[in-house]
C-alpha cells in the first residue's frame, strides 16, 4: 500500500518541485508564469517557459517576481548587482553575496540572465576585430553553342555593430563576355564599393559618414568618388524589422574615360530597411537620392534590394538587384544601369 501510494505521489511531487525551482512571475491580473527569466529590457520582461517558449509581457503588469537563478540587476542608480531576486510588496530584493539590496520594483532599469549579461558586456568595449559578421555572394552563368557567353557576379558585405556605433563595408561587381562569329567582346563590367559609419548620439538618433566608389565601363566612367556626412533616425527597431532614415551633404568627383571630369556638391536622403520574413528568409532594401547642388536639376539615384534564404547555418541562396540612375550621363550613354544576380551566399560571424 505504501509503495503504491508513493508511485502515485511521485509525479506530483516532481512537478511541484520543478514549479518551486523555476523562476516565477505573478501579473496584476492574477496570472502566474513560470520558467526562466531571460531579461527585462526597457518596458518589457521576457521569460522562457518550458511549454510556451519565450513569453514577453509589460513590466508594468508585473505584481511580484522571484528567481531561482542569479540575475544581473541594474538599479535606478545605474549600479549592477548580481543575485537571486524576490519581491516584498512593491520592493525588489536582491540577495547579493552576504547582504541584500533593495529597490522599487517599478524603477528597476534592467534584469539579465547569464547569457544576456555576457552579450551586454561583450558589446560595451569590444576590440576592433571583434563582432564582425557578413556574407559573400557568388553567381556564375555560362552559355555554350552557336554563341558563347560567361558572366560572373560577386558581392561582399560585412558589418560590426556595438552599443555605440555601426560600421558597414560593401563591394559588388559584374563581369560578362560574349563570343559570336569568333569575335569576343565585353558586354558588362561594373564595380561598386564603399563604407558607412554610424555613431549613436541617443537610442534613436545617430550621426553618419560614408564613402562610395564606382567604376562602370559602359557609362564611360573610370571612377566616381563620393564622400559625405549627415544625421539619421532609427524609425523602427524590433526583432523582425529595422528601418533607418538619414540625410546629409556630400562631395562628388566623376572621372570619365574621354577626359571629362565633373566636381559637384550634393544633398542626399536615403533609407535602410532589414526585414525578417521568416526564420530562414530575410529581405534588405536601401535607397539614396543625390540632388546636385552645383548643377541644379541633375540628380542620381541608388537603389538596392535583395532577399536571402538560409540553406544551412553558413550557406544560403540570394537574389539581388542593384540599380544606378543618373540624370546627366555622358553623351551617347543610357541613364540607367541595373544589375541582377542570384547564387550562393556564404555567411560568417566573429
CB-CB contact of 59 with 40 (8 Å): yes
Residue 48 has pLDDT above 70, yes or no: yes
d(CA 323, CA 190): 12
Residues 6+ apart with CB under 8 A from 124: 162, 163
Residue 117 has pLDDT above 80, yes or no: yes
Cell of 57: 509581457
Cell of 129: 576585430
Q: How confident is the model at residue 11 (pLDDT cuts 50, 70, 90)?
A: very low
Q: Is 8 helix (H, G, I), strand (E, B) or coil?
A: helix
Cell of 188: 558588362
Domains and CATH numbers, the chain: 2-124 (no CATH), 132-349 (2.40.230.20)
d(CA 114, CA 104): 23
Residue with the three cell numbers 509503495: 3
d(CA 333, CA 185): 18
- Convert the pLDDT of each residue in 222-254 to its tens digit: 999 999 999 999 999 888 999 999 999 999 999
Residues 6+ apart with CB under 8 A from 12: none
Query: What local confidence, expressed as pLDDT, does residue 302 receive?
Result: 94
Give Cα 304 to chain centroid, integer Å. 16
- Convert the pLDDT of each residue in 77-89 to its tens digit: 888 999 999 998 8
CB-CB contact of 193 with 172 (8 Å): yes
CA dihedral 233, 237, 242, 244 (to 10 degrees): 0
d(CA 334, CA 328): 9
Query: What local confidence, expressed as pLDDT, does residue 142 receive?
Result: 81
- Percent of the chain whose pLDDT exceeds 70: 93
Q: Per DSSP, which regions of 53-116 are E strands?
A: 53-58, 62-66, 71-74, 80-88, 91-96, 99-104, 110-112
Query: What local confidence, expressed as pLDDT, does residue 20 receive?
Result: 47
pTM comes to 0.75
Amino acid at each position: 500500500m505504501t509503495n503504491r501510494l508513493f508511485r502515485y505521489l511521485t509525479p506530483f511531487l516532481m512537478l511541484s518541485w520543478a514549479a518551486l525551482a523555476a523562476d516565477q512571475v505573478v501579473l496584476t491580473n492574477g496570472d502566474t508564469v513560470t520558467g526562466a527569466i531571460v531579461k527585462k529590457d526597457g518596458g518589457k520582461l521576457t521569460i522562457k517557459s518550458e511549454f510556451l517558449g519565450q513569453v514577453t509581457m509589460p513590466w508594468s503588469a508585473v505584481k511580484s517576481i522571484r528567481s531561482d537563478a542569479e540575475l544581473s540587476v541594474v538599479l535606478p542608480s545605474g549600479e549592477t548587482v548580481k543575485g537571486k531576486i524576490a519581491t516584498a510588496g512593491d520592493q525588489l530584493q536582491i540577495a547579493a553575496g552576504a547582504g541584500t539590496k533593495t529597490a522599487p520594483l517599478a524603477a528597476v532599469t534592467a534584469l539579465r540572465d547569464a547569457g544576456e549579461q555576457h552579450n551586454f558586456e561583450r558589446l560595451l568595449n569590444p576590440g576592433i576585430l571583434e563582432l564582425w559578421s557578413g556574407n559573400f555572394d557568388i553567381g556564375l552563368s555560362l552559355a555554350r553553342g552557336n554563341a558563347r557567353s560567361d558572366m560572373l557576379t560577386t558581392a561582399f558585405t560585412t558589418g560590426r555593430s556595438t552599443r555605440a556605433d555601426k560600421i558597414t563595408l560593401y563591394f559588388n561587381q559584374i563581369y560578362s563576355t560574349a563570343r559570336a562569329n569568333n569575335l569576343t567582346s565585353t558586354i558588362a563590367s561594373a564595380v561598386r564599393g564603399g563604407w558607412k559609419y554610424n555613431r549613436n548620439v541617443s537610442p534613436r538618433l545617430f550621426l553618419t559618414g560614408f564613402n562610395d566608389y564606382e567604376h562602370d565601363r559602359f557609362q564611360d566612367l573610370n571612377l566616381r568618388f563620393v564622400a559625405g556626412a549627415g544625421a539619421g533616425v532609427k524609425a523602427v527597431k524590433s526583432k523582425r524589422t529595422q528601418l533607418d532614415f538619414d540625410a546629409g551633404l556630400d562631395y562628388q568627383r566623376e572621372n570619365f574615360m574621354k577626359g571629362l571630369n565633373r566636381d559637384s556638391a550634393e544633398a542626399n536622403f536615403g533609407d535602410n530597411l532589414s526585414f525578417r520574413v521568416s526564420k530562414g528568409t530575410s529581405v534588405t532594401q536601401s535607397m539614396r537620392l543625390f540632388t546636385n547642388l552645383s548643377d541644379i536639376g541633375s540628380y542620381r539615384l541608388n537603389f538596392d534590394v535583395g532577399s536571402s534564404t538560409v540553406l544551412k547555418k553558413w550557406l544560403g541562396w540570394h537574389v539581388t538587384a542593384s540599380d544606378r540612375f543618373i540624370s546627366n550621363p555622358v553623351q551617347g550613354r543610357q541613364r540607367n544601369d541595373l544589375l541582377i544576380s542570384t547564387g550562393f551566399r556564404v555567411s560568417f560571424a566573429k
